[in-house]
Amino acid sequence: MITELEKKITFRYLKPKKKEGFLNIISVFSFIGISLGVAVLIIVMSVMNGFRSELANKILGFNAHIIIESYNEKLDASKFSNKDLKSLSEDLILTNSSEGVLISKKTTKGIVLRGYSREDFLKLKFIKNGNFIGNSGGLKDNTISIGRSLSLDYDLDIGDKVSIMSTSGIQTIVGTLPKQESYLITSIFDSGLADFDRNIAFLNINNLENLFNLDSSKRNLEIYLKQPLNIDSAKSKIQNIFNESFVYSWADMNSSLFSALKIERNVMFIILSLIIIVAAFNIISGLTILVKNKTRDIAILKSIGVQNRSITKIFFMVGFFIGTSATFFGIFLGVIFSIYIEKIRLFLSSIFNISLFPEEIYFLSKMPSEININSIFVIALCSIFVTIIVSMYPARQASKQDPIKSLKYE
């Protein structure tokens, strides 16, 4: 319990007198340092969380959640009606893919080609977003759908014709030449990830198989899940169903990217936590100076019967109040900046005429932010814990003052 006397003395010491101006400066710098440390930590964690979520959502919106490939023979179609598979999945789509060379009037470029039937192409999520332009009636024969970045890079538009050169050959009188077919661009998609838009295109699955001499009986199965973020448990169940096939997920295809993001997030947390620790050590300096300045007060308090425990609590509460109030102010700053981070980025970009968070590097057109309550709780807990630790030593030293020696020199 904290007595009324302890509260009054604590709040009196939180307002240093004019002659103790240096002590006030130390307290202010302690407050500012902890506040900025907490705020920066929340902002960085929010941006990292937002970047991961945004990237995951765009990858999930463009790629199959789980892909099943047969090792030798074709997939067993009877397993498609499995009860567990139906409970997990929204759509099952048979597809094929290959790599070829896109040839236009101005350039040639290696590209990944995915083949879908006319009906299955319409089931893909990115087709339904507002950035898809052109014919939304599906992939007809001898038509192709390309990404926005590819169309901008090579000045391609709907109605243009491009050729696709296959890796498979055809016999002619001059020898074996690669197959080549012309396709009409009927739609342009925007997945939200420039890397995908620049390197992937879609063909009718029959055109793709004819061009690359692929076996239509050995198509892959793409599974779109109801809960794609719960990928580990879903993959394990589907692996049991298709136990003789190769099963991999969107997480497997992007494991290195998300592992790097996780490591970077943890490292940033550790580095930025040091800001809070360094700032909190100012509390030790401030409290130590306060104890020295209040030697006479401590001696008088002890001489009138105030216990050592109360002296410890008074000086501990001074440090604890500075650290805790700084933590909550830092949380307020961090949350406000996290909410308006994109507007702040645009403002700074216009003022200094520089490109912050360029799309070609980070894949995203705007700076994402996702405020995580658990992260804020952990940051606040760590900050207050550090404050408690650094406040304990000077508070205990204050209680060990000898009142007789202290008053002897006054």
Together in a domain, 285 and 186:
no
Are 165 and 179 within 8 A, CB to CB?
yes
Q: What's the confidence (pLDDT) of residue 226?
A: 85
Together in a domain, 45 and 151:
no
Together in a domain, 31 and 79:
no
Together in a domain, 403 and 337:
yes
In the structure encoding, which two tokens stand for residue 137, read together? Answer: 């009636």
Residue 313 lies in a domain: yes
Q: What's the confidence (pLDDT) of residue 328?
A: 92
Q: What is the pTM of this model?
A: 0.70
Together in a domain, 172 and 310:
no
Residue 244 lies in a domain: no
CA angle 141, 116, 230 (to 5 degrees): 165
Together in a domain, 107 and 173:
yes
Last residue of a domain, one of 227, 249, 272: 227
Q: What's the confidence (pLDDT) of residue 329?
A: 92
Together in a domain, 196 and 286:
no
**Low pLDDT (below 50) residues in the chain:** 22
Residue 239 lies in a domain: no
Strands 175-189 and 143-147: parallel
Number of domains into which the chain is organized: 2
Q: What's the confidence (pLDDT) of residue 362?
A: 59
In the structure encoding, which two tokens stand for residue 110, read together? Answer: 């290696």
Are 209 and 151 within 8 A, CB to CB?
no
Last residue of a domain, one of 205, 227, 249: 227
Q: Which helix (H) or strand (E) holds 270?
A: helix 255-293
Q: What's the confidence (pLDDT) of residue 46?
A: 87
Are 207 and 182 within 8 A, CB to CB?
no
Residue 242 lies in a domain: no
Together in a domain, 272 and 290:
yes
Residue 129 lies in a domain: yes
| Mean of all residue pLDDT scores within the chain | 80
Q: What's the confidence (pLDDT) of residue 132?
A: 82
Together in a domain, 50 and 70:
no
Question: For residue 336, what are the domain limits?
Answer: 4-57+257-408
| pLDDT 10s digits, 113-126 | 999 988 888 888 87
Residue 131 lies in a domain: yes
CA pair distance 13, 283, nearest whole angstrom: 13
Residue 234 lies in a domain: no
Q: What's the confidence (pLDDT) of residue 268?
A: 79
CA pair distance 193, 362, nearest whole angstrom: 9
Residue 280 lies in a domain: yes
Together in a domain, 77 and 103:
yes
Are 220 and 97 within 8 A, CB to CB?
yes
Together in a domain, 17 and 159:
no
CA pair distance 310, 158, nearest whole angstrom: 80
Q: What's the confidence (pLDDT) of residue 406?
A: 56
Together in a domain, 97 and 129:
yes
| pLDDT 10s digits, 142-187 | 899 998 888 888 888 898 899 998 877 676 665 667 788 899 999 8
Closest CA to 224 of 92, 56, 367, 134: 92
